Amino acid sequence: MKTMQLINYEGNSDSFRLVEKEIPEIGDREVLIKIHLSPINPSDLAYIRGLYGIKKKLPSAPGFEGGGTVVKAGKESGFSEGDRVSCVAPTKGDGTWSEYMVVPPENCIRLIDSVSLDEGSMLYVNPMTAYAMFEEGRKKGHTAFVHTAAASALGKMIHNLGKKFEVPVIHIVRKSEQVEQLKNEGREFVLNSSDEKFQKELFKLSKKLNATYCLDAVGGEVASKIFATLPYGSELVSYGNLSEKQIDVEPGIFIFQNKKISGFWLSTFLPSLNQEEYKEITRKAQELLPECFRSEIHSSFTLENVPEAIEYYKKNMSLGKIVIRPSGTPDG
C-alpha cells in the first residue's frame, strides 16, 4: 500500500515522504479499513508541526479523520467485511493519509444507509464536535451562544444547529468580507472582531440575547476580549487556538463575574460517555447530517500531493473541505 509518512514535526513540504509498505495484519479486536477519503482539518495542521495534544513516533502517516470500507475484521471487533465506516486514527501507528489503516473498533462508527462514504468520511471531527459542544451548552441551561471562527465549516454547523433548535448564535469573524458572506447566508447576528467597536457591539448584543456560552476556536486577543465582555456567569469553551496565542484573563473576572473557561477535546469527551450515550450521539449526528452537518468538498488531492494540499488548505480554509483521496477513489 501507499502511505504518506510524516518524518519530522517541522510542518513543511520536506516533512513528508511517500512510501510503499506491506498492508498490516490485524488482531482480534482490530479492523483494517481501505480509506476512501480524509479531510484536512486545523488539528492536522497543528499535528504536523508538533503542536497538537499527541505526538506519535515517526515516521508514520498523519491524518486524524477519514472513512472507508472494512476489508478485514477481527473476530472480536463487532464489525464485518464490507461495513462502511467513519473512523479516526489510532494513538499509535499510521493515520488516514494512507491507503489502508488499522484501528480498534471504538475508533469506528458504522454508517447508516442514508449517509454516503464522502459524508461519513467527514463525520467525526466537525459534526461530532459541533453537536457535542452544542448539546453540552443546552444541558447547562445556556439559551444563546457565541461562536468564533464562524466562517469555518464547523461555524456553519453551529449556525445550522442554532436554527434547528431555536438557539440564537452570535457569529464572530475576523474579516469584513466574511461579515457580508455570512449575512448573505442568512445569519442574523454577525460581528467582526477586528472592528474598533467590536467589544461595545458584543456587550450590547450578548446582554440583549443573554448569550452566556462561547465556543472559541481562535484563542489569543479575540478570546480575551470576548470573555471579558460577555454577561455575568458566562462560560468560554476553548476547542482550538488558530491564533496560537494565550488567553489573558484578569482574575477579577473569575472572582466577581462568576465566569469560567473550560476546554473541549473530542478524543477525551467520547471515551467519557457510557455505551448508550455513545450510541445516541453517533446516531443523532448521522441523522442530523443532511440538515445540519453537510460539508461541501472544494478540492480533492491524491496522496502524492499531500504537501500541496496542505498549502492550498492554509490559504482556502473557508471555501469548503479540502480532502485527500488515498486511492484516487471517485466521489461517493
- For the chain, which residues make up each domain, given as ranges? 2-122+295-324, 126-267
Size of the chain in residues: 332
**Mean pLDDT, residues 308-332:** 84
Cα(79)–Cα(91) distance, integer angstroms: 20
Q: CA 205 → CA 134, 188, 237, 294, distances in Å?
A: 20, 11, 19, 29
Q: Please give the Cα distance from 46 to 26 (Å, whole number).
A: 29
| CATH 3.40.50.720 at 126-267, yes or no | yes
First to last CA, the chain: 21
Place of cell 451548552: 137
Q: What is the pLDDT of residues 257-290, one digit of tens each?
A: 999 999 999 999 999 999 999 999 999 999 999 9
pLDDT the model gives residue 317: 85
Angle at 186 between CA 182 and CA 187, to 5 degrees: 60
Residue 329 has what pLDDT?
Answer: 56
Tracing cell 440538515 back to the chain, one arrives at: 291
All cell numbers assigned to 279: 450510541
Q: How far is CA 216 from CA 35, 227, 242, 262, in A?
A: 31, 10, 10, 10
Q: What are the backbone angles phi and psi of residue 69, rounded to the nearest 5°?
A: -120, 135
φ, ψ of residue 58 to 5 degrees: the values are -100, 155
Q: Is 231 helix (H, G, I), strand (E, B) or coil?
A: coil
Mean of pLDDT over the chain: 95
Whole-angstrom distance, CA of residue 209 vs CA of residue 150: 18
Choose the CATH number for 2-122+295-324 among 1.10.3720.10, 3.90.180.10, 2.170.120.12, 3.40.50.880. 3.90.180.10
Read off the pLDDT of each residue in 76-92 and give the average, rounded to a whole number.
96
Instruction: Provide mean pLDDT across the span 113-122.
Output: 95
* Strand ranges for 74-221 from DSSP E: 84-88, 100-103, 108-110, 145-147, 169-173, 189-192, 213-216
Of the given ranges (183-197, 247-261, 309-323), which has the lowest mean pLDDT?
Answer: 309-323
Assess whether pLDDT exceeds 90 at residue 320.
Answer: no
Answer whether residue 10 shows pLDDT above 60. yes
Same fold yes or no, 2-122+295-324 and 126-267:
no
Place of cell 453551529: 158
The DSSP secondary-structure symbol of 144 reads S
Percent of the chain's residues with pLDDT above 90: 94
Question: What is the mean pLDDT of the segment spanning 187-216?
Answer: 98
Instruction: Read off the pLDDT band of 142 (50, 70, 90).
Output: very high
- 151 Cβ contact partners less than 8 Å away, ≥ 6 residues apart: 173, 175, 178, 181, 182, 318
pTM: 0.88
pLDDT for the residue numbered 318 = 78
pLDDT at residue 332 in the model: 44
Dihedral, CA of residue 8, residue 4, residue 293 and residue 171, to nearest 10: 30
